[in-house]
Amino acid sequence: MAYNLNAANWRGIPRSSGSAYAPSDYTASEIDPQEEETWDEWERESQYESDPKCLFCSQVFELPEDAFHHCNEAHGFDFLAVKRSLGLDFYKCIRMINYIRKQVLLKPDLASTKEFGLTGQEEFWDDDELLQPVMEDDALLFAFEELEVADDGQLQEEEERHNATTQKVDLSAIQPTTELENKLLHMLKNSSERNGQLQEQFEEYKKMVKTTFLTNIIDDTRSERSMSVMSVRTDNTQRNKDDPGNYYFESYAHNEIHEQMLKDKARTEAYRDFMYENKDVFKDKTVLDVGCGTGILSMFAAKSGAKKVFAVDNSNIVEKAQANIKENGLDHIITVIRGKVEEIQLPISRVDIIVSEWMGYFLLFEAMLDSVLVARNRWLAPNGIMAPSHTRILMAALDDEDLKNDRYNFWDDVYGFKMSAMKQPVLNEALVDFIKPHTIISTTTTLKDLYLQQIVTKQLDFSNKFEVEITRDGTVYAFGGWFDTWFTRDGHPIPLSQEAQKVQGETFLTTSPFGEDTHWKQTTFVLQKPIEVKRGTKIHGVFTCHKGIENIRELECSIQYSVDDSTDVSIQNFTLRS
């Protein structure tokens, strides 16, 4: 979509020419065939698929300026006025837009607000999580810079008018008559020169920061889309390399893996309970089951009152799913479709609910969430629900010497032989197994929060800071990770402060060592160098996780950490393999 700042494309609400939201006076040429190339500076090319949307209500516009003007006129929020009055920099503007988007999700009544104000004292201004878009393809995150241009133009006009009526002092024309006057004049000249230099440096700095920040966002977006194309098109050479022989889908064609998942009571009953306890939500709705397997979730949805269910899977298991559905007399409700969600076509344009059991080890292993998000973007209705709607990856420190001995020190004496060459690969492989609850020696930290109604594919690869506090004296031999999952009636996000509390209208599933065992178990990252700790010690660092370079179904992780105020930083890399 291209946003053209010319009169021929302007269809917004009439505005005064003195407004920063007003259109340009430029008129498109009717005879110049090179117009688009000649007037590149008047065009803003957007890579986003969605139109500019009001910060508060669901109304969309052709141009971002229309959306900002609507926010001012309909909801009493003047973006530029707030920016000027609070002295907001580029990053705070980004945080402000995302903060409002998030508040609207949490408080739907804000969609009809007539007045919205900010004092500058709110806690969100330094929240770096708000530098990530709350709404996918949010054009306003880019467009407010264009408003800045118009704003600067008005200020420049005012300054010129002020200068025209104010006599400028020419310092070179001043003739000091005393030694004191000479010193003062010298100081004034130095101050004036220094001020000019600082102003030039500051303008260059602002330009560099804005350009770098926006370029990174654009590059990330292009990278995300190129990765998406690479991962979903079967005729793409790179995809064939990443998923040789379609092994992933073939692995789900056999009974054993489905039996294991169905016997996981915590997992299966969470989905069942959410649907059976919220039949009013599912009644007469259209449901899409992504990765339907045996068809169990589709049958739960049908029994919960769904009018129509589409069960999609790219494995041979669909043949058994079809038989299971027919055997239970639900084939008049459930339609089974074999194929990838990136390629298939549904006979309808929108679904009300998407259910999917996409979670892998450490939540993101197998990269199935990418396909679920494709399905969401293609078919989920504007007020539709993702089930689950929110997930969260967590981590804690472990005091488990036996684990270190079993995985690492074992190679020091193998029937009387040393096999040190076997050690390093072990330390670079994440271990999927059950963590003994009593080995947890620290507080729990959130590594990644995934609000599935809004998250975009590029955010599934992440690098986030963490900090855990030791709860008793001991030795940290490893870090352990797991994930929590929520199902909600309306798809609302779960606050970070909320853990495993039972909340009305929500269904909670945990893979924590303190919860019921699941087939996901937990994921352990064994450290090469154990850390001696005391109660109150803090371990902090950065946890990085991304899809495997050679196999996108795998995960590659890196933990960078240090203890308390120490300047010694340790880094260890891990791979989570199938």
* CA–CA separation, 77 and 117 (whole Å): 7
Question: Kind of pairing, strands 390-398 and 431-433?
Answer: unpaired
* CA–CA separation, 472 and 75 (whole Å): 52
Question: Degrees (nearest 5) of the Cα angle 228, 551, 406?
Answer: 140
Main-chain phi, psi angles of 100, to 5 degrees: -65, -45
β-bridge partners, 450:
391
User: Which residue in 48, 67, 102 sits closest to 453, CA to CA?
Assistant: 102
Q: Which position among 179, 200, 269, 357 bears the catalytic label?
A: 357
Output the six-digit token pair for 507.
């269904």
* Residue 413 burial (CB count, 10 A): 10
* CA–CA separation, 264 and 518 (whole Å): 6
Main-chain phi, psi angles of 90, to 5 degrees: -55, -45
Output the six-digit token pair for 377.
């973007």
* CA–CA separation, 512 and 502 (whole Å): 16
Is position 366 annotated as part of the catalytic site? yes
User: Which residue in 155, 221, 199 sits closest to 20, CA to CA?
Assistant: 155
Output the six-digit token pair for 404.
């270190």
Q: What is the DSSP letter of 520?
A: T
3-state SS of 448-513 is EEEECCCCCHHHHCEEEEEEEEECCCEEEEEEEEEEEEEEECCCCCCCCCCCCCCCCCEEEEECCC
Output the six-digit token pair for 521.
């178990």
* Residue 244 burial (CB count, 10 A): 10
Q: Which position among 65, 366, 506, 556 bears the catalytic label?
A: 366
* CA–CA separation, 281 and 536 (whole Å): 46
Catalytic residue annotation: 357, 366
